[in-house]
Structure 1
């Protein structure tokens, strides 16, 4: 009976661990993410916000209107995104609002979590950007 109880506890703990796997170190070269939510607001259909990892420590993508690129550093489970460089086109107001929200929030990200095909970026304990593969 004790063995069955112990086995049950081990399987439960192993199952919980699998659900919470994901740290800053999981952003890997070749990743491509489509942002679906910024600060709790869904990215409108037809507006592309993407995050690519073309090489270690580098991100690039589309921010709603313009293209961007920049660097990130990881320390343990923490992540820090540096200043992003980008093109400077003007777009319709809705696209510019999405872009402004993206740039405002990615600069505050402190850690990321990847579970299955979802990337969640956190400021403290608050999810600020959600993306999918």
Structure 2
């Protein structure tokens, strides 16, 4: 009896997956390229802006398809695809035409070449592998919409001087504000997976009460200009700069 019940349960599960919209998105989120293997060999992307792949609407047997976008580390691309539990087929990808460094351009060409021809897929919550057969793209470090929402708080810079440390407040609509410890600022940000960039920030022009606070303000605004990625761990926010250095912020406890 137990064996018969198990067989019926498995059959019901497979039938549900076969229905359009019958499965929840399974690989939605922004993935970071960890390794690329093609005829030229295997490469592990380095630097502050590794290639990414963002998927929205990965369900089995969907009619509308999956929204596909991402970054080559220099340019942006968009398109659509059809995903199942173990196959993928992408349509044409439209890409921006920004000039890149020779090294980034070479990786970009290899990445888009393999990505446009992938057919096989294997997936776990923390790893996505797309393959053409002999060529492979291995992605990890997935950031979901829920992960990104943890950014929406007010953060204080750790290790600041003075009684009023610089702050950073990110809002869901793409607005950012805060203080330098001396002046206030406003601007916008763009968020793509774990990639974070700030627009030029508008600040008030109040004179800082000491040279130390003036230097801190200058350094802080320059820091925000150089932000490329982020990581949230518990009550800590780590901003990763263009040169790979990191600065830590803390979320006040109970509004303190």
TM-score for both structures, normalised by structure 1: 0.71
Match of 1:5 in 2: none
Flag the 1:98–1:68 CA change in 2: closer, same or farther, 3 A. Answer: same
5+ residue gaps in structure 2?
A: 1-124, 126-140, 252-256
1:116 is aligned to 2:234: yes
**Cα deviation digits, residues 20-48 of structure 1 (max 9, x gap):** 8878834544x011111xxxxx2114132
Match of 1:7 in 2: none
5+ residue gaps in structure 1?
A: 1-13, 15-19, 37-41
2:199 to 63, 82, 104: 82
Q: 1:62·1:68 contact (CA, 8 Å) conserved in 2? A: yes
**Runs of 4+, deviation exceeding 3 Å:** 20-24, 26-29
CA RMSD of aligned residues (A): 2.4
Q: 2:182·2:206 contact (CA, 8 Å) conserved in 1? A: yes
Q: 1:22·1:115 contact (CA, 8 Å) conserved in 2? A: no
**Cα deviation digits, residues 72-122 of structure 1 (max 9, x gap):** 001232111000011001112111111001001110000010000000000
TM-score for both structures, normalised by structure 2: 0.38
Flag the 1:90–1:63 CA change in 2: closer, same or farther, 3 A. Answer: same
* Structure with higher helix content: 1
- Distance in 1 between residues matched to 2:151 and 2:232, nearest whole Å: 11
Q: Higher relative contact order at CA 8 Å, sep ≥6: structure 1 or structure 2?
A: 1
Q: Which has the larger radius of gyration?
A: 2
1:34 is aligned to 2:156: yes
